Amino acid sequence: MSQDLVDVVVHIDETLPREELKTLEDHIHGIGGVVSACNLEDRSHLISITYDAAQVKSQDILIKIQSEGLHAELVGL
């Protein structure tokens, strides 16, 4: 793994139950190059993602989230 780790926050427009958020985290974590994906417990609409920029682009992560029928935006960090 390279040293090009980047953090981004994704805002999910929908209000998801905790179990659906966990499933989404698992799907994001399954993307090649993603190191971690975790919901910010006190802010259920936000998911913090750390990824290797040499392997995946933030836009690819966003597209994966949107492909699950969710409305989301990259917020940054």
Residue 49, classified by CB atoms within 10 Å of its CB into exposed (0-12), middle (13-18) or buried (19+), is: buried
Helix axes 58-67, 18-29, angle to 10 degrees: 140
**CATH number of the domain encompassing residue 57:** 3.30.70.100
Number of domains in the chain: 1
Q: Print the domain residue range for 68.
A: 5-74
17-76 confidence digits (pLDDT tens): 999 999 999 999 999 999 999 987 778 899 999 999 999 999 999 999 999 999 999 996
Report if pTM > 0.85.
yes
What's the pLDDT score for residue 69? 95
Q: How many CB atoms lie within 10 A of CB 37?
A: 21
DSSP 20-67: HHHHHHHHHHTSTTEEEEEEETTEEEEEEEEEETTT--HHHHHHHHHH
7-18 confidence digits (pLDDT tens): 999 999 999 999
